[in-house]
Chain A
Amino acid sequence: QKEVEQDPGPLSVPEGAIVSLNCTYSNSAFQYFMWYRQYSRKGPELLMYTYSSGNKEDGRFTAQVDKSSKYISLFIRDSQPSDSATYLCAMERVGNEKLTFGTGTRLTIIP
């Protein structure tokens, strides 16, 4: 079993819809949670970072962490065609500097 599980999709939604992307994990030692966006033929770029449980909002993006359920989510409001990309969740243990990534969810926003 992988430490981090992420539905690979693909996921297609109409423009303007709310998108929900999710990851589950098995290692309770993960304390830092990140979402990266990766456009085709580009490197991943950090979208959101959260520490421990709770919500964090940045513009149209909201990241949620539920450590009791070992479940994290990324919500995208008012989705735009430019949001079409692969979204990767990533996690890190305190004192362990490597990131463990999910396999990524491929998202397409249909105009």
Chain B
Amino acid sequence: DSGVTQTPKHLITATGQRVTLRCSPRSGDLSVYWYQQSLDQGLQFLIQYYNGEERAKGNILERFSAQQFPDLHSELNLSSLELGDSALYFCASSVTPSTGQETQYFGPGTRLLVL
């Protein structure tokens, strides 16, 4: 158990809908990362927050947004969902912004299925 929690574990929804994925980082970790894992694209970095502020952006679609709250939990909002958004969404956390020397600990993921 990495100490990172994600809810829900599974989510089934329809195209055009909006969902919110939630992540609680390990105790003491200030940095949160979101990744998308699909069969054809592998694990893709979406966005990073550090202590409530956006720190880095990756291949995140405009339909997706995220935030980190004062208690350091983070939410990833996915809107106008398309079939291709079906994937595993992982959250990871680290104490400080990762510089390679700082391990990122991954949560168990949320499996999203868009029908």
Q: Chain B residues with Cβ under 8 A from A97's Cβ?
A: 31, 48, 55-56, 97-99
Contact of B52 with A by CB under 8 A: no
Counting contact residues on chain B (CB < 8 A from A), the size range is 20 to 34
Partner of B43, one of A42, A92, A95, A101: A101
Distance in angstroms from A104 CB to nearest chain B CB is: 6
Q: Chain A residues with Cβ under 8 A from B42's Cβ?
A: 88, 101-104
Given the known interface contacts A43-B90, A43-B108, A45-B2, the answer about A98 and B33 at a Cβ–Cβ threshold of 8 Å is: yes
Contact of A1 with B by CB under 8 A: no
Given the known interface contacts A32-B101, A43-B4, A51-B100, the answer about A88 and B106 at a Cβ–Cβ threshold of 8 Å is: no
Q: Which of B31, B92, B106, B107 has the most CB of A within 10 A?
A: B106
Partner of B45, one of A41, A51, A99, A103: A99
A66–B2 Cα distance when bound, in Å, is 30
| A88 pairs with B43, CB closer than 8 A | yes
Contact of B104 with A by CB under 8 A: yes
Closest A residue, CB atoms, query B31: A97
Contact of A61 with B by CB under 8 A: no
Q: Chain A residues with Cβ under 8 A from B48's Cβ?
A: 97-98
Q: How many residues of A contact B (CB 8 A)?
A: 26
Contact of A17 with B by CB under 8 A: no
| B43 pairs with A44, CB closer than 8 A | yes
| B99 pairs with A43, CB closer than 8 A | no
| A98 pairs with B100, CB closer than 8 A | no
Closest B residue, CB atoms, query A44: B106
| A32 pairs with B100, CB closer than 8 A | yes
Contact of B58 with A by CB under 8 A: yes
Contact of B77 with A by CB under 8 A: no
| B107 pairs with A94, CB closer than 8 A | no
Contact of B109 with A by CB under 8 A: yes
| B45 pairs with A45, CB closer than 8 A | no
* Chain A residues close to B by CB (< 8 Å): 31-32, 34, 36, 41-46, 49, 51, 88, 90, 92, 94-104
